[in-house]
Structure 1
Amino acid sequence: MSTTVPLTLAGSLPATQRRTAPVDKHEADKLAKRLRHQVGRAIADFGMIEDGDKVMACLSGGKDSYAMLDVLLQLQKKAPVSFSLTAVNLDQKQPDFPEQVLPDYLRSIGVDFHIIEQDTYSVVSRVIPEGKTMCSLCSRLRRGALYSYAEQHGYTKIALGHHRDDMVNTFFLNLFFHAKLSGMPPKLLSDDGKHVVIRPLAYVRESDIEAYADARQFPIIPCNLCGSQENLQRKQVKRMLEQWEQESPGRVETMARALGDIRPSQLADPKLFDFLALGKHGGATLPDTHAWLSGGETPRGHD
């Protein structure tokens, strides 16, 4: 028998933003259990949360951060360590942003929260030419505001809602457009060394998050600032991965596992692997690049 999971908040979103499709309770319970298992495993595998942590869960109003907060709240009740959890949202002063939706929802579930108000929208709109992608600057300004708040209030971990598909997407984005093998790690120390960023959804598929958001009836707030910019590099990569997954189901999962199985000796970065010492015999210093290119050194056996 199907049952509809009720909306936990009579929010101010228009009817078109609310989900009313019936959800099978048994399937919803199985999905919730799977997400708790995957998030718990990620926390354990990467040491994301330890006893006494003050965790700042960054909440955007999208499905991913809602799911992250929801699962963390469930795990907190039975966690083997004691940690506090505060939801923090950055109100960027976007036009028509429904500013009461998040506070009303967070009060309804009884979670500690804070809303940071900072007009990054005006900055981005003024600096970025019309028609150009705003995401990069918007992301930097948002990160700066959240990091500053975390430092001011002594949070030891900053939790972000990036999931498994985001991590694979970022890897290919950097590969194709920035010529580097790097991605989005489950746990990260910020460049200034002041903040530890964690991604508890590192093992969770986006499709599962979408289904979970439907089941839980989160009051989703769309991003009007950049959501209409269709020709983003990230969206190009996402479409490519979606096509691959359709052609070969399970391929994204395979690629996600590959990100955790790096073989430096089978790549080509001399900073990660000592290729100069590999197979070297004798104590003579190897000729440098300039010597080889200029012909200043003649390899033995080729006189």
Structure 2
Amino acid sequence: MLRAAPSTVEFKKLRKRLLREVRQAIDDYGMVPPDAHQKRPRWLVCLSGGKDSYTLLAVLMDLKWRGLLPVDLLACNLDQAQPGFPPEILPAFFEKNGIENIIVREDTYSIVTAKIPAHKTYCSLCSRLRRGILYRIAREQGCEAIVLGHHREDILETFFMNLFHGGRLASMPPKLVNDEGDLLVLRPLAYCAESDVARYAAAMQFPIIPCNLCGSQDGLQREEVKRMLMDWERASPGRLGVMARALAHTRPSHLLDRTLFDFVSVRPGESTGKEARDNEEPCGAGLAMTRNLFAAE
């Protein structure tokens, strides 16, 4: 697959950036165990046929080829029996590129459409069914992790979905353990911008398969959040990167969650730890506003 990579300077820079960001996420969150060179963990890389999962697989294979990822990769496609889904595309892609893979067909489409009214969104039930099947496949194939193609914008969208509609501060973590405690869920593209992922997939000419099940529905809350984020990015380029960094720099003493910080015990002269120093640190936005005010004068 990588033999067909473009040789332009622009693409080489893009490829290098994605490799660096994925490797950084893998290192930051300890996705690869310390004894990986001896035990060779096996990852189930979930491939939907969209730009994100193609890019995920390509970057992981690139890192593996460079000797920077001591794991075995098994590409997996779950055919959910959606109308119009082209079942021949991914098998041909895997065969052409010599990629170890498994394809499983499970008719979750009929279950979702039978239980969810046509005017409601299918995403929640579809995701739960798909995740359960992928867990089963991972166990059967001896994999310690399922690897998903969620990128930076997916994580930010989920954060704002939870903020606006769930009343909580939460998103999709780069690494978690499933409820049963026997499998990891990894998101190595957590630091990667969606625009970079899209450019990479287009340059590599991956055979993209659209998601007709979810994409055919209008007015999804997630689509509204996506448009909002894109509007912010267009108005202030670089803002999404700043917001993404904020998710990794949380200060419990500056929020309202009493389970994360002991507000009751805070008294003058008694706070001596890092949280006390945080309280004295000036707000960056406030400093910027002050500078602008004085500049105007």
| TM class by smaller structure | 0.7 to 0.9
Question: C-alpha separation between the residues in 2 aligned to 1:162 and 1:249?
Answer: 21
Question: C-alpha separation between the residues in 2 aligned to 1:249 and 1:60?
Answer: 30
Question: C-alpha separation between the residues in 2 aligned to 1:81 and 1:115?
Answer: 24
Query: Aligned to 2:21, which of 7, 17, 38?
Result: 38
Higher helix share: 2
**Structure 1 unaligned spans of 5+:** 9-22, 282-303
Aligned to 2:174: 186
Question: C-alpha separation between the residues in 1 aligned to 2:3 and 2:228?
Answer: 36
**Structure 2 unaligned spans of 5+:** 270-297
Determine whether 1:96 maps to 2:84.
Answer: yes
- What is the CA RMSD across the aligned residues, in angstroms? 2.0
What TM-score does the superposition give when structure 2 sets the normalisation length? 0.85
Aligned to 2:267: 279
Quick check: which has more Rg, 1 or 2?
Answer: 1
Offset at 1:80? 4.2
Q: Which amino acid counterpart does residue 79 of structure 1 have in structure 2?
A: G
Determine whether 1:132 maps to 2:120.
Answer: yes
Offset at 1:148? 1.1
What is the SS of the residue equivalent to 1:270?
Answer: coil
Query: Aligned to 2:146, which of 154, 158, 178?
Result: 158
Task: After the TM superposition, list the runs of 4 or more consecutive aligned residues in structure 1 that deviate by more than 3 angstroms.
Answer: 5-8
Aligned to 2:54: 66
Matches for 1:136-147 after TM superposition, within 5 Å: 136-147=124-135
**1:6–1:217 CA contact under 8 A, matched in 2:** no
Matches for 1:10-25 after TM superposition, within 5 Å: 25=8
Query: Aligned to 2:66, which of 78, 87, 104?
Result: 78
Offset at 1:279? 2.4
Offset at 1:65? 0.3
Determine whether 1:197 maps to 2:185.
Answer: yes
Question: C-alpha separation between the residues in 1 aligned to 2:61 and 2:203?
Answer: 17
Aligned to 2:160: 172
**2:44–2:145 CA contact under 8 A, matched in 1:** yes
Query: Aligned to 1:223, which of 190, 211, 215?
Result: 211
Question: C-alpha separation between the residues in 1 aligned to 2:190 and 2:241?
Answer: 12
Offset at 1:218? 0.3
Question: C-alpha separation between the residues in 2 aligned to 1:233 and 1:151?
Answer: 33
Q: Which amino acid counterpart does residue 235 of structure 1 have in structure 2?
A: E
Question: C-alpha separation between the residues in 2 aligned to 1:277 and 1:30?
Answer: 51
What TM-score does the superposition give when structure 1 sets the normalisation length? 0.83
Q: Which amino acid counterpart does residue 211 of structure 1 have in structure 2?
A: R
Question: C-alpha separation between the residues in 2 aligned to 1:273 and 1:261?
Answer: 15
What is the SS of the residue equivalent to 2:43?
Answer: strand
Question: C-alpha separation between the residues in 2 aligned to 1:118 and 1:159?
Answer: 19
Q: Identity of counterpart residues, as a percentage?
A: 52
Q: Which amino acid counterpart does residue 174 of structure 1 have in structure 2?
A: N
Question: C-alpha separation between the residues in 2 aligned to 1:223 and 1:80?
Answer: 32
Query: Aligned to 2:9, which of 26, 32, 54?
Result: 26
Determine whether 1:105 maps to 2:88.
Answer: no
Offset at 1:24? 7.4
Query: Aligned to 1:47, which of 30, 41, 45?
Result: 30
